[in-house]
A and B are shown apart, each in its own frame.
Chain A
Amino acid sequence: MSQLIGTGHTRRRGLLQATAAIGGLQLASPFIIKARGETPVKIGFIDPITGSLSALAVTEVESAKWTVEQMNKNGGILGRPVELLIEDSANDTGTGVQKAHKLIERDNVDMILGDVNSGIAYAIMGVTAEKRVFHIVPGGHTDPITGKDCKWNTFRTCNTTAMDAAAMTKTLVSKFGKKWFFVTPDYAYGQTLQANFVRNLEALGGTWQGDMLPIANSDFSATLIKAKGYKPDVLLNLMGGSAQINCMKQFIQFGLNKQMALGGALYEIESVRSVPKEAQSGWFAMEWYWNQPSVPAVKKFVDAISPVLGGKMPTARHWMAYVSLHAARLAAEKAKSLDAVKMAHALEDLELPPEVSLMPGKVRYRAGDHQLMSDIYVGEMHPPGPGGADDLFTIGQTVTGEDAAGPAEATGCKIAWPA
């Protein structure tokens, strides 16, 4: 019996072995959505369905499933049905890369979409470029993806951090002042976003302090103690997902909303829904919003997808997956091929039709860096308004993608095509 129980020594060893071994067991089984058809076009979709960014990822996946379903009803891609293979990167770079290899080498996908996590999206780019697979990043924002490390096969739908920072800086300075405190996640997205904000702020003569914290940080009290001591004009909460929500809650609980303004780059609807009313505030950028009366295609899209979402309004994450999948379809149809090189050439500077872009301006993945030049909505968060539970944002200003991004040459992107 004593062997069954183990001594303190074996228990310790067992615990240590178990703690170490668990890191190697992070790969869950894939979740596959198959469409009917003989020779389907296979699209691999990698997102962190588990982990601190899961709410955003699940939204993208939800939209991808719906978009593929609609696409198949309308002839699929090149007349072939589309098969969506969804993989969970678990918010872990190694897992994401492994899933990309698996999708390409075992499942023979025609193209890859993903990831919400910038670091994982960036890492997957290396795999897709090496394997010459067409790749769209729907929602990973860090700059090098379409900047200095851009690839011929990779396109990005969401904004760069430079675009979001450029769109927000002047508004925050003019409304609140030039003394800022950053609460930033310590990974690719947060690092580039803060660096862009700092560069813009310092150019305007501003000063700042800030903390870079682990991506899934849950307790912000130590950082907020620092923020209060610094007495900034505005606190920029650059965290994402559940970490951003917790930071917002604690910001309100500590009464800091009475002492400083709140702002940042992104405060996504998925997060805003989950915070107390007092925290549904501040000035942020929205990459897409469901309430755009001047764009008829938006209402049509909202009316079509909303019943599938249980009556909720679609978010920017729904839009990112929708646009990315339709962009892939349009590229294949223009190229009349699923060849990655031909598709990539076809998508460059291709102006998306309004029913795909769902925006007022002209929207295209520009040839110079493969970044989508989409409009950015700068505005204010607020508790639910007369438009319903998701009436949480008022657009103050629309900044065009071209204005926010600057010239493609300035991003450092030099696209090298395969021989």
Chain B
Amino acid sequence: MELVLFNLANGLIVGAFYVLMALGLSLIINLSNVVNFAHGNFLAIGGYLAFTLTPYIGFWGALLVSPLLTAVFGYFIEQVLIRHVYARNHIYSLLLTFGLGFILQDVCRFIWGPSPLPLGIPDILSLPITEELFFITWYRVFMVAVVIVAVSGLFAFLRFTRVGMRIRAGTLDLDTVSALGVNVAALRSYNFAVGSFLAGLAGVLAAGQIGLNPNMGDDLIMPSFIAIIVGGVGSLTGTLLGGLLIGVAAALTTVFYPAGAEAVIYVIMAIVLLIRPRGLLGEEGMLT
């Protein structure tokens, strides 16, 4: 029983990380209708930028600056590439972002090399919080705290800022938002930048936990998609729930059948799609 409780707590921590990844992805899908397969590579860019910046501005500085730089990079990519496929069929954005992912992966490999790299974190964060709870390091606690702050900030941004409210409205009915004089092109650009910011933030946090390698985004992108599908496309709250659910499910499966830890999240997705195809909290076009 103790083992199950330990893993339940651990699953919530892992799930919180999936949430951060998936929320950025979800934002972009919801407003721009682009399935961004390069999202994991934006995560890697964020992590590698932190690796480069850390010797100059330290871990804490890199934690603030790297996501911002990733957001700027995302904004640039949206301006140069992504916006040209909004008016086209899904397959165009799929192929574009899929190819972009390969390019970004090779860029990382070219600049930083193929070998895994460690991102140094402050020593205090490396320690377990207690001897009993040895599997919860301060870094994991810190990750969860950052996720809580980021998610709260995102929801506040969407609810209380002018741009945020326009993004929510655009998700529901972009035609009307456009007819009211809102610059939809700019709105999508800002939205893509916010999504990239969250990917960059997730990248720095992931790098501190599992280190860096050019493929790191590939391993994390699928749980993000699944979190969105399980939670319900169009619902950020659903994405939140979906991320936590698959994190816990994977951790608990490890207790009883470790080889199935990866497969179980796909099984959950299949069950949700069979029983409730719109996802747990999915409402058509709703950003809640």
Contact = CB atoms under 8 A, between A and B. Distances in A.
Contact of B29 (A4, A11, A186, A218): A11
A214 B255 contact: no
Given A219-B14, A253-B137, A54 B228 contact: no
Contact of B33 (A6, A28, A214, A222): A6
A222 B7 contact: yes
Interface stretch (B73-81, B159-167, B197-205, B256-264): B256-264
Interface string B155-199: 000000000000000000111001000000000000000000000
Given A7-B285, A249-B211, A1 B175 contact: yes
B213 interface: yes
A222 B225 contact: no
B20 to A, nearest CB: 15
A225 B35 contact: no
B118 A15 contact: no
B105 interface: yes
Contacts of B14: 219, 221
A12 B278 CA distance: 7
A242 interface: yes
Contacts of B259: 186, 212-214
Contact of B210 (A22, A218, A226, A256): A218
Contacts of B215: 50-52, 54, 242
Contacts of B94: 18, 21-22
A14 B33 contact: yes
Nearest to A15: B35
Interface stretch (A103-111, A198-206, A271-279): A271-279
Contacts of A39: none
B195 to A, nearest CB: 15
Contacts of B46: none
Interface string A272-288: 01111000000000000
B128 A254 contact: yes
B282 interface: yes
Nearest to A28: B102
A306 to B, nearest CB: 16
Given A14-B35, A217-B261, A246 B285 contact: no
Contacts of B178: 1
Contacts of A222: 6-7, 10-11, 251, 254-255, 258, 261
Nearest to A53: B215
Contacts of B213: 52, 54-55, 242
Interface string A216-259: 11110111111011000000000001100110010001111000
A9 interface: yes
Nearest to A212: B259
A221 B233 contact: no
Interface in B27-63: 29-30, 33, 35, 37
A274 B219 contact: no
A74 interface: no
B167 to A, nearest CB: 13
B229 interface: yes
B210 to A, nearest CB: 5
B233 A11 contact: yes
Max count, chain B CB within 10 A of own CB: residue among A226, A249, A253: A253
A223 B254 contact: yes
Interface residues on A, range: 35 or more
Nearest to A249: B211
Given A15-B229, A15-B233, A18-B35, A274 B211 contact: yes
B90 interface: yes
A11 B7 contact: no
B275 interface: no
Given A50-B215, A52-B215, A11 B134 contact: no
A128 B227 CA distance: 41
A406 B135 CA distance: 42
A219 B211 CA distance: 12
A419 interface: no
A225 B126 CA distance: 17
A348 interface: no
A16 interface: yes
A5 B29 CA distance: 10
B9 to A, nearest CB: 10
B116 A271 contact: yes
Nearest to B115: A55
A141 to B, nearest CB: 19
B105 A270 contact: no
Interface string B249-288: 0010011001101100000000001000111001111100
A389 to B, nearest CB: 13
A7 B284 contact: yes
Given A1-B178, A15-B225, A15-B228, A8 B285 contact: yes
Contacts of B118: 249, 274-276
A58 interface: yes
A338 B15 CA distance: 55
Contacts of A391: none
Interface string B81-116: 000001100110011001000100100010000111
Nearest to B87: A4
A50 to B, nearest CB: 6
A221 B33 contact: no
List the 10 closest A-B pairs by CB distance, nearest first.
A8-B284, A222-B254, A211-B258, A14-B90, A58-B114, A274-B116, A214-B262, A1-B175, A18-B35, A186-B259
26 contacts: A5-B174, A5-B175, A11-B29, A12-B229, A12-B282, A15-B29, A18-B35, A19-B229, A50-B214, A51-B215, A51-B218, A52-B219, A58-B114, A212-B258, A213-B258, A213-B261, A214-B261, A218-B219, A221-B251, A222-B7, A222-B10, A223-B254, A224-B135, A242-B116, A253-B126, A274-B211
Given A21-B94, A246-B211, 15 more contacts: A1-B174, A1-B178, A2-B174, A8-B285, A14-B35, A14-B90, A19-B229, A25-B98, A50-B214, A52-B219, A55-B213, A222-B258, A225-B3, A229-B3, A254-B134
